[in-house]
Structures are given as C-alpha cells and as structure tokens.
Structure 1
Amino acid sequence: MKFTSQIKVLGMKASKGTLENGTAYDSTKVYVETGLDDSKGNAKGFSAVEYSMGTSDEYNKYKHLPFPFVAEATLEIVTTGKAQKTQLADLKPIEIAKQKAAA
C-alpha cells in the first residue's frame, strides 16, 4: 500500500563500499523527524526514524539542499506475512517544487 505524507528530513547519509568478506553495500539512509508516542504520558516531543532509500546515488540528489527540509514523501507499507514495515520510496522537496512551479 503506497501513500504520500509531508515529512521533515533531518539528515541523510550515503554509504558505499565492500565488507572484509567481499560483500558490496550501497545505500542511503534518510533520517525523518517523527513524534514520540505520548499516549502513556511519559514521552513528549520528537525523535528521528531511519529509512533506507535506494543507493548512495540518492544522496547526491539532495546533498545541495539546506537541512532540515520539508518534503512530500511516497511511503509504502510492506509485509513478510508476519511483520510489517514502512519503506521510503520517493522524496520531493516542497520548496524546490514551489520554485519550479513559479518559474
């Protein structure tokens, strides 16, 4: 199930290389501001949740932006049949989208 949501991207980190055993890795991590669960009255405020988003090339699309930035995100809920997780599929920074529309 895919859906869109406005999110605040706090940071991003590209990672690419080869492990000692020869296994290659290539990814971008996106850190998104997420509200803490205050339903029990013992938490308040925000934290960051880490999402994987494609290869290290994804980082290059956004590294020029000032952080944090607000974006429209496409998220997808997937399951293994036993466990559910949310994946980050796409980001569209809102200020850049506004600038392109005005041009």
Structure 2
Amino acid sequence: MSFENHVKVLGAKGFKGNIDGQEMNSTTLFVETRLDESKGTQRGFGVAEYRYPDIALFESMKGHQFPHEAIIEIDMVASGKGQMKTILLGWKPKNTRPTVNQETGEIKNKPVV
C-alpha cells in the first residue's frame, strides 16, 4: 500500500559503506511528525525517520535548503509478525526550482521519484 504525504523535511543523512561486513547504501530523511496528544501526556512535534535504499537521494538533496516542504511517497509493508514497516519510495520538494552548478551543469536538488 503506497501513498503520498505532504511533510516538512528537517534534515537528511546519507551513508554508503561497510559495517561489520555488511554493505550499506541508504538515505534517511528526518521528517516533522505530530505527537499523539490523545492522552494528554505529550504535545507538539517529534521527528520520524524514513529510509530510502540508495544514497542517490541524499546526493540529490545536497544543494537544497532545510527545513523544506516536500511530498514523499511511502509504502507500508507487513513484516509477518504483526508489525508494519515504512519504506520511502520518493521525494519531491514543493515550490522549488532545481539548482544548477554553473561550472559542471549538474542539477543539485532535483527530486527523486
């Protein structure tokens, strides 16, 4: 089940390397998320982490301003143990024009969808 969500992206982290013999390649987005205020024990906002399976997303965001509004596409999958896992499928900043490096012609903040 995949869907789009309008969010505020507070930050991003990219990693590509080897940890304990396991190759890793990912981007993590840190997204503002409303806290559950239904019990009266918390108020305001927290941060949710969404993982994308490639550092290419982080590389495309390097020239982008933070925080920013974006549309993310996410998928919810079941682990088979009654738990849900959220997977980030794409990111598209709202109301932003891509930034072009004048020396190389590289597009700095194009969305990955």
| TM-score normalised according to structure 1 size | 0.86
**Unmatched 5+ residue regions in structure 1?**
none
* Aligned mates of 1:79, 1:63 — CA distance in 2: 32
Q: Which SS does the other structure have where 1:65 is aligned?
A: coil
Amino acid at match of 2:91: L
Between Structure 1 and Structure 2, how many residues are aligned?
A: 97
Structure holding more helix per residue? 1
> How far has the Cα of 1:86 moved from its partner?
2.0
For residue 11 of structure 1, what is the aligned residue in structure 2?
A: 11
| TM-score normalised according to structure 2 size | 0.79
For residue 52 of structure 2, what is the aligned residue in structure 1?
A: 53
> How far has the Cα of 1:88 moved from its partner?
1.5
* Aligned mates of 2:14, 2:32 — CA distance in 1: 18
For residue 40 of structure 2, what is the aligned residue in structure 1?
A: 41
Identity %: 36
> How far has the Cα of 1:11 moved from its partner?
0.3
Q: Deviations over 1:57-87 (max 9, x none)?
A: 2101111111001001111111123211222
- Computed over aligned residues only, the root mean square deviation of the Cα atoms, in angstroms, reads 1.4
* Aligned mates of 1:83, 1:54 — CA distance in 2: 20
Mean CA deviation greater in 52-61 or 36-45: 52-61
Q: Deviations over 1:17-68 (max 9, x none)?
A: 112x432111111100001110000100001111111211210111111100
